[in-house]
Chain A
Amino acid sequence: MSEDLGFLLALLLNGASIGLMYSLIALGFVLVYKATDAINFAQGEFVMISGLVVATMLSIDGMPLIGAVVAVIAVMIGFGFGLEKVVLRPLLGRPVVAVIMATIGLAAVLRGLSTVIFGGETRAVSLPIGDDPINIGPASLPPIQALGAVVAVLFFVAFSWFFKKSRMGVAMRAVADNQQVAQAMGINVERYFALAWAMAGIVSALGGIVWGSMLGVDVHLALVGLKVFPVVILGGLDSIGGALVGGLIVGLVESLASGYLDPYVGGGTKDFAPYVLMILVLMVRPYGIFGKRRIERI
């Protein structure tokens, strides 16, 4: 195999695994948007908080990894529930802009509080999976990226099943479709809102573990949340499959841009290439690749 092809393969593999890890975070965003119509600008901060919690847990002597994982999931479920109750429920029935502003404010508050509570230094989340790259053909993959990709895929399968096959999932989609009618069908809408936020919490908990382990945990971890936007806009704000595909596209575009364009322009293309693509896609399909189309009967 030629060296060029090997290089391409390495870029693709790296891009795909990073992309899947983006999808994992985007999934939290999509779950909330799907059920509650709220655009959560604090998704990155969710991930940051869970990274911080995991890092703190693991720094306790004798804390087994599994204990830390269970603890952070529990904390993030509670966090999601609490947030819905305290911040979002009072905004129910208000204009969408109010909710957006609330989550933007929340993001700032969370970043500020995190340095106050957890301190400003970068912490490490060390998972017992080693550092030796996994070789796949001519390319290789850091084990944390492989783990992240696997976790992301597992979550996608689980949530797809949940929304398609379980009664709770169908009820949640009904809530997303029309809140007032869902209520009249005996569905406790507020409980499903809380559930959506809690599910976003669970996803963020896992996101915090894999991203925190890869990048180290401090306030800057919240920046991965910014990547959520090209992902969900490419895939469609309310589509789970779209989050998966959108994540993959963003990851691959980033990786290919940094591999092939950076040498010519001196670097940095990976940071804006996904946004360029996002704008292009928006011109053709304003609702994303898999987004819900507004249904118009004629």
Chain B
Amino acid sequence: MLSINNIEVVYDGVILVLKGVSIEVREGAITTLLGANGAGKTTTLKAISGVLHSERGEVTKGTIQLAGQRIDGMRAHDVTRLGLVQVFEGRRVFEHLTTEENLIAGGHVRDGQSVKAGIEMVYDYFPRLRERRNQQSGYLSGGEQQMLAIGRALMSKPRVVLLDEPSLGLAPMLVEEIFAIVDRLVRQEKLSVLLVEQNASMALTVADHGYVMENGRVVLEGPAAKLRDNSDIKEFYLGLNEGGARKSYHDTKHYKRRKRWLS
């Protein structure tokens, strides 16, 4: 559905952030992108959705294709029109607009008659938003804002959704609630999702396929189940030791274990 082929991204004409990243997002599946802070996950999403331009970044090499059509170099609003939408890290709702106005703004690319139906669909998936429909969205709770951010993205009738850290700063129960809804959306609306997460264990539970990024490169890829069993992933992302038991700080390590993919 979405294929990123060996892209390089440069900021301000000199700072090389992505050094040849290739990712496949399959139709009707959740693909997750893991990695530490500064690995280039968010930049990857921004390169795909086209908002990179407004941050003076640029895709200098490689291609990005949405259902066979090249979208690298396109403006963000044109990419959204083609059915790909990004949900930003940190929710970023239009704070001064009400919940419903946020959804109306999200449905900008729709034709006028279908906006109402779209809003109803979002309310069906996120009933809490219906209760808050006339409230200024800046005053919603963090979880509600995340739901609104996802709902607002759905308003553009996307085929591919880029989800950037939906669990950020939310209580574990809320995270589960939101992921359950995302899972339902993928199955019922035939969405394809590219999920960026710090919460690796959650991400690898819901995802079908995963990639691990470090320093602007993809260093590991595979089916989510396989990644969950990878000893490096366990050690560095899931906080488990080789045997699978929870790591304890009582048995302090005497040496720093080297990531295998670096050798």
Chain A residues engaging chain B, CB cutoff 8 angstroms:
93, 167, 170-171, 173-174, 176-189, 292, 295, 297
Contact = CB atoms under 8 A, between A and B. Distances in A.
B49 interface: yes
A93 B54 CA distance: 7
B104 A167 contact: yes
Contact of A167 (B55, B85, B112, B136): B112
B51 A177 contact: no
Nearest to B106: A185
B92 to A, nearest CB: 5
B94 A181 contact: yes
B57 to A, nearest CB: 12
B108 interface: yes
Given A180-B54, A186-B156, A170 B97 contact: yes
Contacts of B56: 93
Top 7 A-B pairs, shortest CB-CB distance: A186-B80, A295-B138, A174-B105, A186-B109, A177-B94, A183-B76, A188-B77
Contacts of A185: 77, 80, 85, 105-106, 108-109, 152-153, 155-156
A222 to B, nearest CB: 32
B51 A180 contact: yes
Interface of B: 49-51, 54-56, 75-77, 80-81, 85-86, 88, 92, 94-97, 101-102, 104-109, 112, 115, 136, 138-139, 142, 152-153, 155-156
B51 A184 contact: yes
Most buried by B among A167, A174, A189: A174
A167 B110 CA distance: 11
Given A174-B102, A184-B49, 18 more contacts: A93-B56, A167-B108, A167-B112, A167-B115, A171-B108, A173-B94, A177-B96, A180-B55, A183-B76, A184-B85, A185-B77, A185-B152, A185-B153, A185-B155, A185-B156, A187-B77, A188-B75, A295-B139
Contacts of B109: 185-186
A186 B49 CA distance: 10
Contacts of B85: 184-186
Most buried by B among A179, A182, A183, A188: A183
A161 to B, nearest CB: 14
A64 B130 CA distance: 53
Most buried by B among A184, A185, A188: A184
6 contacts: A170-B101, A178-B94, A183-B75, A184-B86, A186-B81, A295-B95
A186 B139 contact: no
